[in-house]
């Protein structure tokens, strides 16, 4: 297993989304679009909380992009 490298810009940006509780759009390789707030991240996954307070855990390999919701 790879080590979680907190010096990477991608990890730091996601950490900023978590700290600021910004709502994001998360696009998956399946073409699904998930909207919510990222609540945590680890080496393998990101957890997104939707408007109904339902958590969705997404494998990092399934993510196409993450961007702040306009």
Whole-number Å distance between alpha carbons of 6 and 45: 14
Give Cβ neighbours of residue 28 (< 8 Å, ≥ 6 apart).
34, 58, 62, 63, 64
Cβ pair 51, 38 in contact under 8 A: no
Q: What is the pLDDT of residues 26-38, one digit of tens each?
A: 999 999 999 999 9
Residue 1: pLDDT band with limits 50, 70, 90: low
User: For the chain, what is the mean pLDDT?
Assistant: 94
List beta partners, residue 66.
26
Whole-number Å distance between alpha carbons of 9 and 59: 18
Cβ pair 62, 29 in contact under 8 A: yes
């Amino acid at each position: 297993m790879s080590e979680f490298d907190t010096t990477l810009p991608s990890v730091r940006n996601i950490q900023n989304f978590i700290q600021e509780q910004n709502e994001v759009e998360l696009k998956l390789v399946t073409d699904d679009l998930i909207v919510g707030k990222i609540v945590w991240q680890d080496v393998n996954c990101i957890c997104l909380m939707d408007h109904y307070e339902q958590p969705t855990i997404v494998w990092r390999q399934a993510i196409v992009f993450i961007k702040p919701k306009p």
